Amino acid sequence: LNEFEIIDQFFLRKSYSKPGWVKVGIGDDGAVLAAHEDNDLVVATDTLVSGIHFWEESSPVNIGYKSLAVSLSDLAAMGADPDWVLLNLVIREADSQWLENFASGFFELADRFDVQLVGGDTTCGPLSITVTAGGWVPKEGAITRAGAKSGDLVFVSGTLGDAALGLEVEPERMANLPSLSRIHRPEPRIRLGQELRTIASAAIDVSDGLASDLTHLARASGGMGAVVDERLIPFSDNACSLKPRDELLLLALSGGDDYELCFTANPSREKAIVRLSGQVGIPITRIGMISETPGFWLIGSGGKCKQYLGGGYQHQWAPDV
């Protein structure tokens, strides 16, 4: 059983007793709740476990930064304006130096987005961190995974595969290759997400590889599929200098931890998206299209279309960690 099967089998309930109130429940980047006559509340949560999502010996500054970044990335994918955050910290021991560094990384990012730490829990145990973030969208303004239509174009922000490639590169070399340090310090695409509210038909953050995440988006949008032209997938110059394109492609499709936004839009919005890319200073690349045929399809270098069955990145399901 993988994460999605567990949710489906044990935790997903088809009906809510308060249907109007939960606007989006389990199965999107965040939940959307009716809260205010003008705004909806978006909440998202992620747990990072030592040995699975980061190395126990990683810099606590980076662990603090990343533990907040991944939840903010979920809010970005919903188009939400982040506002408050809860921090649940499970630590083996109360090491002051570690805690101070963890807090400095956490607050560095919190301060940039003016997010307030309003509560949490601290307990002892094997190192893991849960961050729950809350934010707001204008009423009915949240971007979900479910709005894509057949014929919508598929876009992605930034470059893909850098984080997965970073996992393969020795730490000393990585220090000289900033784009590969994204494994430690992903950038939540908050402003981009907010601007996409009125442009995108659906969005998701790319955390488990493009193939897996875009398939989720397409499936959530009424059982659609996606066709991606592999020649259009954007890679960083650093990545291209380290690996041939076909290897980078696998990292982008099935690697993890990119935390870029993948979104869809009606073709009529393409010019607005080009303009937006300039406004927010983030490259945005059109990579494909939503289709009525389910599944994830790749147009290869020869122009032929094949189904990609490689699946997504699963943080290792280890019997003992």
Q: Which of residues 28-67 bind a second copy (CB under 8 A)?
A: 28, 30-31, 33, 35-37, 41, 43-47, 49-53
The residue to which tokens 């809010």 are assigned: 75
DSSP 313: -
Among 58, 59, 90, 266, binds a second copy (CB under 8 A): 90
Least Å distance, CB 193 to a second copy, is 17
Segment interacting with a second copy (CB under 8 A) among 126-134, 150-158, 212-220, 235-243: 126-134
Nearest to 313 by CA among 195, 184, 121, 183: 183
Task: Report the alpha-carbon distance of residue 307 to residue 226 in Å, rounded.
Answer: 10
Least Å distance, CB 151 to a second copy, is 30
Total residues interacting with a second copy, rule: CB under 8 A: 74
Q: Kindly provide the residue ranges of all beta strands, DSSP E only, lying in the chain, ordered along the sequence.
A: 22-24, 31-34, 39-49, 81-91, 116-124, 128-138, 153-157, 202-206, 225-229, 260-265, 284-291, 295-299, 305-307
Angle at which helices 245-254 and 210-220 pack, to 10 degrees? 50
**Residue 8 near a second copy by CB under 8 A:** no
CB nearer to a second copy: pick between 93 and 172: 93
Task: Report the alpha-carbon distance of residue 128 to residue 185 in Å, rounded.
Answer: 17
- The Cβ of residue 228 has, within 10 Å, a number of other Cβ atoms equal to 24
Least Å distance, CB 148 to a second copy, is 21
CB nearer to a second copy: pick between 92 and 275: 92
Among 56, 118, 198, 307, binds a second copy (CB under 8 A): 118
Among 63, 69, 75, 87, binds a second copy (CB under 8 A): 87
Q: Return the sign of the alpha-carbon dihedral for residues 180, 184, 185, 188.
A: positive
**Residue 97 near a second copy by CB under 8 A:** no
Residues 130-159 vs a second copy: string with x where CB under 8 A? Answer: x-x-x-------------------------
**Residue 16 near a second copy by CB under 8 A:** yes
Nearest to 22 by CA among 35, 11, 12, 9: 35
CB nearer to a second copy: pick between 130 and 254: 130
**Residue 272 near a second copy by CB under 8 A:** no
**Residue 88 near a second copy by CB under 8 A:** yes
Question: Between residue 280 and residue 319, which ones bind a second copy under the rule CB under 8 A?
Answer: 315-319
CB nearer to a second copy: pick between 120 and 234: 120
Among 14, 17, 172, 303, binds a second copy (CB under 8 A): 17
Nearest to 297 by CA among 219, 230, 248: 230
Task: Report the alpha-carbon distance of residue 147 to residue 243 in Å, rounded.
Answer: 35
| Most distant CA pair in the chain, distance | 57
Least Å distance, CB 286 to a second copy, is 30
Segment interacting with a second copy (CB under 8 A) among 110-118, 174-182, 221-229, 292-300: 110-118
Beta-strand pair 284-291/295-299: unpaired
Written as one string, the DSSP assignment of 9-31 is III--S--SSTTTEEE-TTSSSE
CB nearer to a second copy: pick between 6 and 240: 6
CB nearer to a second copy: pick between 118 and 175: 118
User: How many residues are present in the chain?
Assistant: 321
**Residue 26 near a second copy by CB under 8 A:** yes
